[in-house]
Structure 1
Amino acid sequence: MSTDLSATLGESALVLFSGGQDSTTCLAWALERYERVETVGFDYGQRHRIELDCRQDVLAALREKFPHWGARLGEDRIISISALADIAETSLTSEAEFRLQADGLPNSFVPGRNLIFLSFAAAVAYRRDLRRIVTGVCETDYSGYPDCRDDTIKAMQLALNLGLERRFVLETPLMWIDKRQTWELAHQLGGDDLVDLIRDRTHSCYAGDRSQVHDWGHGCGACPACELRAAGWRAWRRDARS
């Protein structure tokens, strides 16, 4: 994707980076735009904690394959929020079977997770003098989580700016695109090299399974995250061939 970098000359950003497809695409998006980009991940007792191990592999691959981005990559940190698992009792923080709850939300919804993530990220951004905070939440192609909605993010930006007396900008590059378009965005940003990196090195599977390899990457193939990723890959590849 072509970008007028002069419009963001001197800008800095903090990317919420889990090691998954969406956050890696967002990281590439930020590296294409901003002069200094730092990353933050969260250990909250997730059953797919293997994503945290993938983070460093993805960062190393980005530096190797995209040296112009690597020069902009700054400090990375992981913040422990273990209390979230203690109070959440969801299929993302236990071995519970993935299912819909009585309220219509999937039981993979961790109440308040993204709100907590953004609060911690804003505290890091405040201390590190980073104005833009980039997160991979999406309202178009998601599991129905209310803390991924555009209205929620806009309200959170206002709350953070008032509470910290800063002018943070919460960036959501994926908000209005689906998984097919997310694969396409990655290709626009970094071509086949970035698509291959995301497919081979990132982790999205809620079950934490990296023993099975598919054309779209590693995962159990049956959880909601794998189904979304696989469907998006197939749609993108079909469109690319037509």
Structure 2
Amino acid sequence: MTTATPLPSCPAAGSAVVLFSGGQDSAACLAWALERFERVETVGFAYGQRHDVELEARQGVLEALRAGFPAWGQRLGADRVLDAGVLGQISDTALTREAEIAYDERGLPNTFVPGRNLLFFTLAAALAQRQGIRHLVAGVCETDYSGYPDCRDDTIKALQVALNLGMAERFVLHTPLMWLDKAQTWELTEALGGEALVDLVVERTHTCYHGERSRRHPWGYGCGACPACRLRAEGWRRYRGLG
């Protein structure tokens, strides 16, 4: 399993597909991939999420990357948004309906969408197989996360085995943020693209579960109260040495 490593002196041969939601973590992973591969395609998923503003944010991030980082822009390939609406049809979660965020008896938040990452990786692998691409990159993380079981390293390792067996391929699932907390994710972002990339992430990405884009904080836009906003804000404070 790939984790964050020193930046290469030149991009590796080959291509990658980045699972790109439009949020902070996937934007950092996209930059990570653009440093490492000659060609990078992106894929997003419309699954009935209540914070579907993230789908609009995706395009803003891609446009800003092309404009502000020409070398990366030359490596950016096709972007697709796939219909994964079946998740919204079968899920009863705070991300797919209007509901207060709460936790169940197992400690799982009701923002957990069962099967989401499993389906996303499967769809991305099917797309990559058609394109002749074997590298998949995603921003799942076991260090600073909301307790989602499909973000765990063991889950991704098992899924890599299953995809390779089921498709007779040799996919590599890269998770650059797996062992990074949010402060370290900000640090990685700065290491990849300097303050310009940090500013891009602040201004362009969207992570808030409530889809709030009218409130601007030092770390970006959001309600400031949902778990995603609180995690992002706390990481920003530690990254900036604010306590």
Q: What interval of TM-score do these two structures reach, taking the shorter chain for normalisation?
A: over 0.9
TM-score by length of 2: 0.96
Tell me the alpha carbon deviations over residues 199-220 of structure 1, each in whole angstroms, 9 at most, x when there is no partner: 0110000000001110100000
Q: Which runs of 5+ in 1 are unaligned?
A: none
Q: CA deviation at 1:101?
A: 1.0
What residue is the counterpart of 2:9 in the other structure?
4
Tell me the alpha carbon deviations over residues 85-123 of structure 1, each in whole angstroms, 9 at most, x when there is no partner: 111110000111011112210000000100000000000
What residue is the counterpart of 2:18 in the other structure?
15
Tell me the alpha carbon deviations over residues 175-219 of structure 1, each in whole angstroms, 9 at most, x when there is no partner: 000000000000000000000000011000000000111010000
1:57 aligned to which of 56, 60, 63 = 60
1:211 aligned to which of 185, 203, 214 = 214
What residue is the counterpart of 2:232 in the other structure?
229
What residue is the counterpart of 1:90 in the other structure?
93
What residue is the counterpart of 2:41 in the other structure?
38
Q: CA deviation at 1:4?
A: 3.5
Q: How many pairs does the alignment contain?
A: 238
Name the aligned partner's letter for residue 210 of structure 2.
A
**Matched residues in 2 for 1:234 and 1:99: separation?**
25
Where does 1:149-168 land on structure 2 (aligned, <5 Å)? 149-168=152-171
TM-score by length of 1: 0.96
Name the aligned partner's letter for residue 209 of structure 1.
E
What residue is the counterpart of 1:25 in the other structure?
28
Q: Report the identity percentage.
A: 64
What residue is the counterpart of 2:195 in the other structure?
192
Q: CA deviation at 1:2?
A: 3.1
Q: CA deviation at 1:41?
A: 0.1
Secondary structure of 2:41 counterpart: strand
Q: CA deviation at 1:71?
A: 0.2
Q: Which runs of 5+ in 2 are unaligned?
A: 1-5
